[in-house]
Amino acid sequence: MTSATKSYEDVVATYEPVIGLETHVELGTNTKMFCGCPTVFGAEPNTQVCPVCLGLPGSLPVANKAAIEATIRIGLALNCSIATWCRFARKNYFYPDMPKNFQISQYDEPLCVDGYLDVDVDGQTIRVGIERVHLEEDTGKTLHIGGATGRIHGATESLVDYNRAGIPLVEIVTKPVAGTGQLAPAVARAYVTELRDLLRTLDVSDVRMEQGSMRCDVNTSLNKPGEEWGTRTETKNVNSLRSVERAVRSEMLRQASVLDAGGSITQETRHFHEDTGDTTSGRSKETATDYRYFPEPDLVPLAPDPAWVETLKAALPETPRARRARLQQEWRVSDHDLQSIVNAGAVELIEATVAAGATPDAARKWWLGELARRANNDGVELSALAVTPADVAELQQLVDAGKLTDKLARQVLEGTLAGEGSPSAVMAARGVEVVSDTGALTAAVDEAIAANPDVAAKIREGKVAAAGVLVGAVMKATRGQADAKTVRDLIVSRLS
Ligand SMILES: [Zn+2]
């Protein structure tokens, strides 16, 4: 491991980064790519297998139409051209989790090519070119038992689970992204975020990075301005959005220190370590010729009917980016405010709260204020809080109707978050409500005046600012359940 000798600012002042991303996405089809086995996550090992996905002699694959349809929809949403004729290919290599000793993939004839995805970073729109989108099958999973790290080193035994073998996998490869300078790590993260949201909108995968249904390999290289692109490394299986950004940054720092010392970068795969934020060397990278690709002889070519492709295109949902632009207009928020909403993961929550009857401003106030603070304190996503958009809309309606002050509303929200039920249920259970009965309030005001004759005298002389003391006394007497402004008005009118 080489430690960085330069600051990040110095690195980007000396070198220009070029990044590229390869993303694997497990499709959410009911059955595997080339057989009828189920694809449920977390089943007992080796219970979702058959002769085809175990690669037994004499078994023959049949392509899954739902997977092909999902891949074409992904390609269309990424502005790609869809091939009118293409083939699967065998990628030959040995690995224990791959029972056939080859993977059915696509090589020189991918299903979708030459598209793009626009991402917004720091107020700039950056167009990330898409080289290809192709369809393949996933491998099984090897579990190394007995070691401390879960890696093969130090393990006493290794077990293979073939449940994942043959699950349809889409690989999305970007073109090299150059010219982003110091934004490169943020661009990488923004791309993966946008892609994840797009795939979720298309409903083709559950895109859970932590469960491995979306996995990213990040290519990084550095070159000096005006020189050719440098040798790239590929950091494998980066499994969170934050790690995508950290992996690019860490690799930029490492490569710069190697280059500064007069060394050269080895083309290799590297592993990202979540705990240290560093990458370490994996294996030297195979080239395509090592895989001896050839067209898969057991499958007929794929020739999607252009009319079918047109139908799929016409039925594509609104993209997350177009949706954000529309909501920004509807909610009348600035670019900056919209970015805060996106960063907080609150777009859907606010949209649902507005649909439940709140104004956009009120919905935004709760989700980005009190609730964001709470989520931050608890270290969870906003969407994981025990409060629904309907609860938030109800809370605001209670405030608007004068039944809760802002302060009381926050107390009621605490109750909802603690699992005590909807805001109105919490109010009923805790006996919380604004004291709006003027008779009761007047009595409390008169008591406060009687108990503080000096203050009352000042107010009578026109020193209205002194009313704060009496307001405090009334709020205390009503356990905070009065509206401070109403109390104040009442005090002033009693003393004038
Ligand atoms: Zn099978």
Sign of CA dihedral 352, 357, 361, 363: negative
Could you tell me the distance, in angstroms and rounded to a whole number, from the CA of residue 170 to the centre of ligand 1? 18
Angstrom distance (rounded) from CA 251 to CA 381: 28
pLDDT of residue 179: 95
From ligand 1's centre to the CA of 25, what distance in Å?
19
Alpha carbon of 293 to ligand 1 centroid (Å): 23
Tell me, in angstroms, the distance from the centre of ligand 1 to residue 211's CA. 21
Q: Which long-range contacts (CB under 8 A, 24 or more apart) does 487-494 make?
A: 487/441, 487/445, 490/438, 490/441, 490/442, 490/445, 491/445, 491/448, 491/449, 491/459, 491/467, 492/459, 492/464, 492/467, 494/442, 494/445, 494/446, 494/449
- Nearest 5°: phi and psi at 274? -55, -40
State the distance from the centre of ligand 1 to the C-alpha of 49, rounded, in angstroms.
4
* Alpha-carbon distances of 247 from 230, 400, 439, rounded to whole Å: 17, 48, 66
Tell me, what DSSP letter sits at residue 36?
Answer: -
**Torsion-angle region of residue 79: left (phi > 0), alpha (psi -120 to 50) or beta?**
left
Å from CA of 8 to ligand 1 middle: 48
Distance of CA 126 from the midpoint of ligand 1 (Å): 41
Query: Both tokens of residue 36?
Result: 């009828």
Tokens of 411: 């107390």
* Amino acid type, 157: E
d(CA 398, CA 395): 5
Q: How far is the CA of 167 from the centre of ligand 1 (A)?
A: 9
Q: Is 143 exposed, middle or buried (0-12, 13-18, 19+ CB in 10 A)?
A: middle
Please name the amino acid found at residue 11.
V
Report the alpha-carbon distance of residue 27 to residue 118 in Å, rounded. Answer: 23
CA of 297 to the centre of ligand 1 (A): 19
The per-residue pLDDT for 302 is: 95
Q: In the prediction, which pLDDT does 145 show? A: 87
Instruction: Extract the runs of DSSP E, i.e. beta strands, from 239-313.
Output: 268-272, 279-284, 294-295
Task: Please report, to the nearest 10 degrees, the dihedral formed by the alpha carbons of residues 460, 462, 466, 470 taken in order.
Answer: 40
Residue 410: count of CB within 10 angstroms of its CB: 14
Distance 290 CA to ligand 1 centre (A): 27
**Separation of 237 CA from ligand 1 center, angstroms?**
25
User: Cα(203) to centroid of ligand 1, in Å?
Assistant: 23
Q: What spacing in Å lies between the alpha carbon of 202 and ligand 1's midpoint?
A: 26
Total length of the chain: 496
pLDDT tens sequence across 178-221? 999 999 999 999 999 999 999 999 999 999 998 889 999 999 99
Contacts of residue 244, defined as CB under 8 A and 6 or more positions apart, other chains included, come to 21, 185, 188, 189, 192, 216, 218, 238
DSSP state of 384: G
Q: How far is CA 55 from CA 52, 102, 114, in A?
A: 5, 9, 33
CA–centroid distance, residue 38 to ligand 1 (Å)? 8
pLDDT of res. 1: 46
Kindly state the tokens that stand for 347.
Answer: 């777009």
Between the CA of 43 and the centroid of ligand 1 the distance, in Å, is 14
416 exposure class (CB count in 10 Å sphere: 0-12, 13-18, 19+): buried
Q: How far does residue 57's CA lie from ligand 1's centre (Å)?
A: 13
Which DSSP string do the residues of 460-486 spell out, in sequence order? Answer: HTT-GGGHHHHHHHHHHHTTT-S-HHH
From the list 129, 212, 137, 222, the residue with the least C-alpha distance to 171 is: 137
Point out which residues pair with 121 in neighbouring strands. Answer: 124
Ligand 1 centre to CA of 239 (Å) is 27
User: Ligand 1 centroid to 166 CA: how many Å?
Assistant: 7
User: How far is ligand 1, taken at its centre, from the CA of residue 301, in Å?
Assistant: 21
Centre of ligand 1 to C-alpha 33, Å, is 9
pLDDT of residue 174: 98
Ligand 1 centroid from CA 68, angstroms: 17
φ and ψ of 145, to 5 deg:
-105, 145
Cβ atoms 92, 291 nearer than 8 A = yes
Calpha distance 158→241 (Å, rounded): 29
Spans of the chain, pLDDT less than 70: 1-5, 285-286, 288, 436
Residue 102: which H helix or E strand, with range? strand 102-105
SS3 content of the chain, % helix, strand, coil (to 5): 40, 20, 40
> What is the whole-number distance in angstroms between the Cα of residue 66 and the centre of ligand 1?
16
Strands of the 102-105 sheet, one edge to the other: 102-105, 89-92, 294-295
Residue 233 burial class via C-beta count within 10 angstroms: exposed 0-12, middle 13-18, buried 19 and up: buried
- Tell me what pLDDT residue 458 has: 87
Q: How far is the CA of 464 from the centre of ligand 1 (A)?
A: 81
